[in-house]
Each structure stands twice: as C-alpha cells, then as structure tokens.
Structure 1
C-alpha cells in the first residue's frame, strides 16, 4: 500500500455571522481542528494540530478529546489523531441517492483499474471526498479517506466539479484551461496538485437538469494510458448519473 506524503494543509477562518467574529469561538476552533484532522494525509499528533491552528496544546487536546467522545476523531497506537467513524454517520444524508448510486460503480471502477476510486462533492470553494473504495487485488494503491478537502480550483476532482457546474469563469475568477478541456472531453487530469507525486483523473456527475451533483475520480501513481483511463472514468460517472436518476424516480412523491 502506498501512503502519500503529508500535504501542506491550510485552515481558513470558520464561518462568521455577517462580517463579525464566529458566533462561538470554541465551536469554531473545534470544527477547524476536525477539518484539519480529516484533511490530513496521515494521522496528526496533538502538537502538530495545535501548531497549525495557533492554539495552546492543552486547549487543542481538550477539543480533540471532546471530538473523540463523539466518535468524530480517533487515535492510532501512537496516539496520533485520525478521522473517526462518526464522520461517516454525519455524511449519510449528503447527496444520498448519488452516494448510493455511486457505491457499486466505484467498486467496479476501483477493481477494474486497480486504483482507489472516490466520489467528491462541492462545498462552496472546496471539493470534499464523501465515498472511497480501494481496489481488492492491487499490489499497491494510494490510500485516501472520506472527509478529505482541497480547494475546488485544484486537482482533477475540483476541475471536474467546475467543468460540470459552469460554462465560464467560476465566482468571477478566470477559468483554468483544464476546466474548459474537461468540459470538452468529459474528464480532467491533474498531477501533484493535491498530494505530492499523486495523479488523478475525474469526471462530473450530472442530474436531469444538467447540474453537477458530484464527480467520480481515481487517484494513482505511475504511468497509465490517460485516454483509456479518462474514458473509463467518464463511463463510470455516466453510470452514476443513470443510476441516480433511476433511484430518484423510484422514490415516493407523496402520501398514498
């Protein structure tokens, strides 16, 4: 199994009310700690979390213990912090029909390509991984975790989300040529934009109205035929779109 090197993680200020400070500074700090641990490529020690957030170590430890009590973070044998199982529970109702539709598709994609496959959604200016499937029989593959976040303007998943959502610049920013290329051919490619040395190919998942709901992606190392891989990821995204449409049409629309 290939474990990627830890990327530089940037934590931005928490949500604010109007133009003022966060409504709850304690909650804001706790959420920032949770975001940091969830986005890290490797488990983080308390001192590393405290240093990144600019907080005292004892304050950071108490916040992390509180998150641990809620099963939102966990600790490995060395005492380092990593995402907890409670995050999966919180994510259950995030685009549920798309996640359900994507699961078997991601499994087939991961095993066909011997790469880690994942589903990404957009959260404002970030791309967030909500589902991950690792290949069963690959000799080596990249480890990736749900909850990982990165700027939507970087990485193949983010580029695919932008390509599916817009026909021009996003939020007033000039559009990257890679976004336009993804819109034309159906898939995006990036290298070392999110994790050093890692490559990714992604394609947008659309709904009946043509809106981008998510993106299907694979992450890998080494050399692969990008055209064939891109076509395989595009086919997977199209299958997720089809399955999600069938699932949404089968849902009850009102009382009997």
Structure 2
C-alpha cells in the first residue's frame, strides 16, 4: 500500500470516528411532543378541576381545555439521530434543555419548581377572574385541582373556567358557546396574558382532543400558525378581558380577532 493510500485510509478512519462520536454523544437538548389536555370545566381523576364556594355557580356546556407539551426528561440522553428525526416531524420539536428545564438539576427539583409555578398560576388566575367579575377573594373561595401538570401555562384557561362557572358571558350563555375551546397562556393577577412556548405542539394536542378553537398569546401567533391543524380557528389574546370578549363575539357572530 502506498503512503498516499495509507494517509487516505487514516483520514477516513478519523472522520468516521468523529461522526460516530458525534452520533453517540449526548447533546444539551430535549425532544418535545404534544402533551395532555384537560377540560377545566370538568373533572380530573374524579375531582372537579374548579370548585367554588361563597357564590352561586352555573351549569356549563362545552369545554375549556388547557394544553401542555411532554418532553424528554432532564436526565434523558438525546443524541444527534434523535434531533435529526425530530427536525423532520411536525409532531416533535427540538428545544434547548435549558429552555425546557430552566431550574433544577434533577427530576425532583424540577417537579417541585413546576408545582410551585402551577400554584402561583392558579392563585393569579383566581385573582384575575374574580377581579374581572368585580368579586372579592374574601367572599368567594376558589379551589383548583389538576394532577400531573406543572408550570404556569394553564393560567388563562383556569381564569376563563372560573368566569364561565360564575357568570358565563354575563347574559345567561356559556363562554364556550357549546364548543370545545382550547388555549394556553400565563396570566397575572391583573389579567395580562403572557407567552408560554411550545404552541405548535399544543395546537396539535388540542386538535387531537376535539378542540376547534385555540386561544393563543398574541405574541406567539407566528409560532401557532406554523403547524396549525386544518379547521382549527386561532384567536390571539393579550388580556383575560380580550379573551372573554373574543369568545362572546364568537358565539354571537361578531368580529373575532385573528392572527
């Protein structure tokens, strides 16, 4: 074998070794998928998601579904082939692990953080909803219960669920108009709706579970349109009040915002 051929063989072996190492090396990413949805007007594991005391509540029809994503765990190894596969699928997304798990180094720490965020989100949703209806938290007690879900992204749907159970559209009708409405968005006590991430996967989860309308934070309209299922109507919102107004208009045939 000539020296040139030997050099080429060595170089080829080195390149192959680098490619194999790259393929097998764990990378700092998570792969996300459409997660569960839950009707906040209904029950979860045999318990009402929303329980209200201190005020009369109303029977509701239709559904208000919070949405979520599922991602590979913080301890899972994600490799180059996993990422390449996810890039070519519409029902998977590659996300920096730090954006999925910004706090905590293990499953227990992350679960604790997500549970605390969910609690804060529920408190803010309650205050926002009661504020929208000019009711005092001192007079009306709201308990929210949703198992196996963490983080703040259900805040908007919790707040809408509270309003629907207490007041509907204010004229004797359901906010949902009898539809299955899904959505996502953080909420603060003043009713401002914030971005959450993972919206294209959430619209797919909502479509899978029967939703025909999806409420999305306005700043995430572009992301939401990226993989929007056919026949799903996308409604941008900026505040709890704008979400309520949009649902009222949808029921009555009025002007509804679009992305």
When normalised by structure 2's length, the TM-score is 0.28
The structure with the larger Rg is 2
Higher relative contact order (CA closer than 8 Å, sequence separation 6+): 2
